[in-house]
Amino acid sequence: MAVILLSFNITSCRKNLKPIGHIVTNNGNIVTLNVDTKRITKKNLDKTCNFGQTDGSSNEDFTIIVAVGDSIMWRGFSTYSKKDSVNITMIKIKHKNGTKIFDKDSIKGKNKVFAKAKYSTEGKPDYEYKIKFTVIRNGKKKKFSIDPKIQIK
């Protein structure tokens, strides 16, 4: 089984939890949204959330590349405390016209979301999609969203 793991330390993490990036396995793709659950606000998403990218690219520029037929799982991870939760609640494709890349344009989940890539986007611009997620810290829930990109080959 081939596994690619992107991992690094974030200096703002109180307990030195290691964020995880995009993992590719023989069974599919795992996209992990890493969140500093103590500092996150709607105004500082790029500073407190990431997908493991280390090149300084924004969350909106982060692009996953998968193949037709690949399974994808989106999950959340707190970089501040293991007691905090980051629940991915929805993946929503933001195209108006073009290829329908999943069975549905909105895929819901409770703490993770699963989808299977159905059609290629080759030769087309990257598809933008919205990841909706909830952060639970000290019993309080806050809702957020980020708009990364996807390519299906």
Domain that holds residue 51: 22-152
Amino acid 118 reads K
Residue 75 in any domain: the answer is yes
Q: State what percent of residues in the chain have pLDDT above 70.
A: 79
Residue 108 in any domain: the answer is yes
Q: Tell me, what's the pLDDT at 55?
A: 67
Q: What is the mean pLDDT of the chain?
A: 83
Average pLDDT of the segment spanning 118-125: 88
Residue 2 in any domain: the answer is no
Q: What is the pLDDT of residues 58-67, one digit of tens each?
A: 999 999 999 9
Collect all residues with Cβ–Cβ distance below 8 Å to 77 and sequence separation of at least 6. 17, 19, 20, 32, 33, 34, 35, 86
From CA 9, how far away is CA 35, in angstroms rounded?
13
> What's the number of domains the chain is made of?
1
Residue 7 in any domain: the answer is no
Residue 44 in any domain: the answer is yes
CATH number for position 55: 2.60.40
Collect all residues with Cβ–Cβ distance below 8 Å to 128 and sequence separation of at least 6. 60, 94, 95, 147, 148, 149
pLDDT for 16 beyond 70: no
Q: What is the pLDDT of residues 74-108, one digit of tens each?
A: 999 999 999 999 999 999 987 766 678 998 889 99
Q: State what percent of residues in the chain have pLDDT above 90.
A: 60
pLDDT for 8 beyond 70: no
Tokens of 149: 């990109």
Q: Is the model more confident about 98 or about 1?
A: 98
Phi, psi of 47 (to 5 degrees): -85, -20
Q: Tell me, what's the pLDDT at 24?
A: 59
pLDDT for 127 beyond 80: yes
Q: Tell me, what's the pLDDT at 54?
A: 74
Residue 118 in any domain: the answer is yes
Q: Is the model more confident about 125 or about 6?
A: 125
